[in-house]
Structure 1
Amino acid sequence: MYDVVIVGGRCAGSSLALLLAQANLKVLIVDRSNLPSDKINSTHLIWHAGAACLQRWGLLDRLLATGCPLQRRFLLDLGMFQLRSNVELRDCIVDGAVAPRRDVLDGLLLEEALAVGAELRDEAHVSDLLTENGRVTGVRIRTETGGSEDIPARVTIGADGINSTIAKLASATEASAQDKQQQTYFAYFSGVAFEEVEFYSRPGRMGFIWKTNHDQVVAGLCCRLADVDALRADTVSAFWAEMEAISPDLAARLKAGRQESEIRTGGTRSFIRQASGPGWALTGDAGMNMDPISAQGISNSFLQAEMLSDAIIRGFAEGNPDEALAAFGEKRNETLGPIYAFTSEMARLDPEPPAEIIQLFMGLAKSQTDTDAYFGVFAQTVPVAEFFAPENMGRIMALAEAE
């Protein structure tokens, strides 16, 4: 009997296993893959709030030592003008973002989880949930010989991504679902002149570049689904034409370096799933999946790991784990719901931004403090509702008209 079985051993599952094993709970990670491994459709930016989780867990310095630098300066190029920021930190204990390759990050988290007592069964496929009196009591896995094995647990967690087996088997409901709105194209480069994380906002487009491991950068663009067919016809030529249109300077810097990978692509629909039920819960992208345009996925997984581990530990101590799991879902939605809504709006990539948004950016150009706060929304150091409160928006937009 395990205290907790976690299905999915990447960043969401391994981080939760680490926190639970540190609390002396008996934890098993089950994953269908051979871990750790790379995740080729991840652009892997971890904003400040996520990096702060790594710092609290004692892992940030070890991650930085892999050659994954802390990035403190941010640029938003809007064509007409540029905004630069160090990000408003507030109570955040880390003053930068990191973007590790996923085999590095997931490997570090898994290694630490196993070091503090968690167990791993990889290359194991979950075929069913065990239940008793309507409550989930573990999982059934298919063995290498074609048989099955039952693994009982007090709580079962689905950390198995957007196509979660646990969500399907538990019949988890969905809310706030949206179809995929944009497609991302990116590649890895070395030898690129680079000083800050860069974003390029253009009509119907968003370009980006940031540092990762191996002295490389990851760079690419997001485009509306309506424009994807042109890139599919000749992805390489279209990618470079798009990058040139977004920023001739960025395209020239990338071409002056060395392309280290093929052009990769990704995109996903968005949803908020039911967070828990009797004996089970979902975390990471299995429970709340956002469009990747705001790069919140890993940070959100870490924040959920802290919320869910606290709920499980408290629930066991008080003898009411299902009530604690339900409370986790409420806290998840309250904490991350606003950034979900903000990201969904951003993913539309409007070819003609509303006049008030243009005026907002013009106001930000006149206030470094407000620019830092705007970047803090992405870093999850400044609440979405606070920054976009009508009175705050009105104050900033009024700056655009000031002499």
Structure 2
Amino acid sequence: MEPTADVAVVGAGPAGAAAALMLAPDHRVLLVDRLDAAAPPAARIGESLPGAARRLLRDMGLWEAFLAEGHVPRHGADSLWGGPDLVSAESLRDLDGPGWHLDRARFDAWLRDRAVRRGAALVAPARLAGLARDGAGWRLVLIRHGRELPVRARFVIEAGGRAAPVARALGLARARHDRLICRWLHGRAAGEAGRSFVAAEPDGWWYSAALPGGRRVLAFHTDADLAAARETAGAAALLARARMQPGLSAILAATGFAPDGPPSVCAAHGGRPATVAGPGWLAVGDAALACDPLSSQGLLNALYSALMAADAVRAALAGEADASEEYRRTIGRVAHAYRDHLAAWYDLEDRWPAHPFWARRRTAGQGVGAAGRRPERALRP
């Protein structure tokens, strides 16, 4: 007999795991992860979690358990953006308090474990190979250890990130807002964790932060089609370019940053599907709204959309016809606010208006984030 579930969650990153753990106590939830749960966790970037997540973690019943994980508080951020002067923002001035620099691989594994503890059935490693309507529900075909595993579910949650396997299986188009990529290094470094650094340059922008355990991340963001993307493909080239950047070079020298492997590269573009919900399915996290890393909203969006999705799925399973429509409106409001603020942040940097990276972002902001005007207050990444 084929396995059956009330909800199949395709993707076990933060958004998928959070949705699963919220639904598992009251429904049969199947959580599908393409990675082997027994394998060592892969290194990840995207380790910043803003203080506003405190409220979401409380709502999810995870606050005390999260604190016990011992992630490092993010005390503040420094930036060279829109001019040559360093701007510092202290977390004490944030109404939500300090955020955190996470051990991202450990955080992801912890959320997935919490979902399993609450009753979600984990299928890993597995990938979605087929999806079709089956009466009032769905029939999914998973590939696990090279063999097909058919599954039936009443509702499907798309949590597969930018790859969006459910949306692709449904034939839905996905809008890509830009061509941003992130090339990054982890390495050993002295210094206490708790602050991050962002700096603009003619072909993109840099990010660096001290991480737990005497480590640091160094990341460069640019567009995939620009020469800068090719020129920073190796660790030596990436480091050489970083050492030419004001402010960043001093940080790397003072901390003795030493990379412990080749650079990794990942997609960092913003984007949205044609729709985030339909009869019997909805999307969460990056699958619903992929955020530019400059916003530091990716993980926060993953948790928030998972909470909203859990409410919508409960309502849909209880027979409420407009549950998906309300979820679409919620994500639409989030997307509008995100795009408006992102455009304002990029508008602050006007030193290289003729360079393609910056010209594209000012053009993209027209009508969305009031490109060309200065925000009322000095926003800084």
TM-score of the pair, normalised by structure 1: 0.77
Amino acid across the alignment from 1:20 = L
Equivalent residues in 2 for 1:140-155, closer than 5 Å: 140-144=141-145, 146=147, 148-155=148-155
The CA RMSD over aligned residues, in Å, is 3.2
The equivalent residue for 2:356 is none
- 2:118 aligned with 1:116: yes
Does 1:56 find its partner at 2:59? yes
Aligned to 2:359: none
Cα distance change on mapping 1:249 and 1:283 into 2, 3 Å = same
Q: Match for residue 89 of structure 2?
A: 85
Structure with a larger share of its residues in helix: 1
Which residue of 1 is the match for residue 190 of structure 2?
191
1:179–1:208 CA distance, 2 compared to 1 (3 A): closer
Q: Distance in 1 between matches of 2:350 and 2:203?
A: 4
Matched, 1:2 2:2: no
SS in 1 for 2:232: helix
Aligned equivalents of 2:17, 2:222: Cα separation in 1: 32
Please give the secondary structure, in 2, of the residue aligned with 1:288. Answer: coil
How far residue 186 of structure 1 moved from its aligned partner, in angstroms, is 3.0
Aligned length: 353
Deviations 1:160-182 (A, max 9, x none): 1211221111122334x224135
**Partner of residue 365, structure 1:** none
Structure 2 equivalent of residue 217 of structure 1? 216
Judged with a 3 Å threshold, the aligned counterparts in structure 2 of structure 1 residues 51 and 169 are, in CA distance, closer, same or farther, namely same
- Write the deviation string for residues 100-147 of structure 1: whole angstroms up to 9, x where unpaired: 2332111111111111111111122322123135x552412235473x
1:25 aligns with 2:46: no
Structure 1 residue 325: deviation in Å?
1.8
Q: Who is 1:40 aligned against?
A: 43
CA distance in 1, matches of 2:119, 2:128: 22
Contact 2:77 2:197 in 1 (8 A): yes
Moved more, 329-338 or 113-122: 329-338
1:139–1:170 distance in 2 versus 1, CA, 3 Å: same
Contact kept in structure 2, 1:184 and 1:221, CA below 8 Å: yes
Q: Does 1:69 align with 2:72?
A: yes
**Alpha-carbon distance in structure 2 between the residues aligned to 1:260 and 1:104:** 19
Q: Residue 43 of structure 1 contacts residue 218 of structure 1 at CA under 8 Å; is this kept in 2?
A: no
SS at match of 1:112: helix
Contact 1:16 1:305 in 2 (8 A): yes
Partner of 1:328: 327
Structure 2 counterpart of 1:69, one-letter code: V
Cα distance change, pair 5–187 in 1 and its aligned pair in 2 (3 A)? same
Secondary structure of 1:152's aligned partner: strand
Counterpart residue number, 1:170: 170
Which portions of structure 1, spanning 4 or more consecutive aligned residues, are displaced by more than 4 angstroms?
Answer: 344-351, 392-397
Amino acid at match of 1:68: H
Q: Separation in 1 of the partners of 2:271 and 2:132?
A: 26
What is the letter of the counterpart of residue 337 of structure 2?
A: P
Q: Which among 117, 128, 131 is matched to residue 129 of structure 1?
A: 131
> Offset at 1:158?
1.2
Residue of structure 2 equivalent to 1:380: none
Find the counterpart in structure 2 of residue 272 from structure 1: 272
Equivalent positions of 1:223-234 (< 5 A) are: 223-225=222-224, 226=226, 227-232=228-233
Partner SS for 1:303: helix
Instruction: Name stretches of at least 5 consecutive residues in structure 2 with no aligned partner.
Output: 354-368
Q: What residue ranges of structure 1 are gaps of 5+ in the alignment?
A: 355-387, 398-403
1:13 matches 2:16:
yes
After alignment, is 269-278 or 124-133 more displaced?
A: 124-133
| Structure 1: distance between partners of 2:150 and 2:264 | 38
Identity of aligned residues (%): 19
* Other structure's SS at 1:352 match: coil
The answer to whether the 8 Å contact 1:158/1:165 transfers is yes
Normalized against structure 2, the TM-score is what? 0.81
